[in-house]
Amino acid sequence: SSHNDCPLDKDELGRNTWGFLHTMAAYYPDNPSKNEQEDMKKMMHIFSKFYPCEYCAEDFQQSIKRDEPDTRNQYSFSQWMCRMHNEVNVKLGKAKFDCSRVNERWRDGWNDGSCD
Ligand code: FAD
Amino acid at site 69: P
- Global model pTM greater than 0.95: yes
Q: Is residue 22 one of the residues assigned to a domain? A: yes
Q: Is residue 1 one of the residues assigned to a domain? A: no
Q: Is residue 114 one of the residues assigned to a domain? A: no
Structural domains in the chain (count)? 1
What confidence tens digit (pLDDT) does each residue in 5-39 have? 999 999 999 999 999 999 999 999 999 999 999 99
Provide the sign of the torsion angle of the four alpha carbons 110, 29, 17, 3, taken in this order. negative
CB atoms within 10 A of CB 106: 20
Measured in Å, residue 88 CA sits from the centre of ligand 1 at 7
Measured in Å, residue 56 CA sits from the centre of ligand 1 at 11
Q: Is residue 74 one of the residues assigned to a domain? A: yes
Helix, strand, coil percent content, the chain, rounded in steps of 5: 65, 0, 35
Tell me the best of 44, 85, 87, 90 to mutate to test the pocket of ligand 1, counting ligand atoms within 8 Å of each CB and taking the most. 85
What confidence tens digit (pLDDT) does each residue in 40-97 have? 999 999 999 999 999 999 999 999 999 999 999 999 999 999 999 999 999 999 999 9
Measured in Å, residue 116 CA sits from the centre of ligand 1 at 24
Domain encompassing residue 33: 10-108
**For position 62, which CATH number holds?**
1.20.120.310
Q: Is residue 4 one of the residues assigned to a domain? A: no
Q: Is residue 63 one of the residues assigned to a domain? A: yes
Q: Give the atom of ligand 1 at the shortest distance from the alpha carbon of 83.
A: 18
**49 CB contacts (<8 Å, ≥6 apart)?**
57, 61
88 lines ligand 1 (CB under 6 A): yes
Amino acid at site 115: C
pLDDT band at 1 (very low <50, low <70, confident <90, very high): low
Q: Is residue 62 one of the residues assigned to a domain? A: yes
Residue nearest to atom 38 of ligand 1 (CA): 14
Q: Is residue 113 one of the residues assigned to a domain? A: no
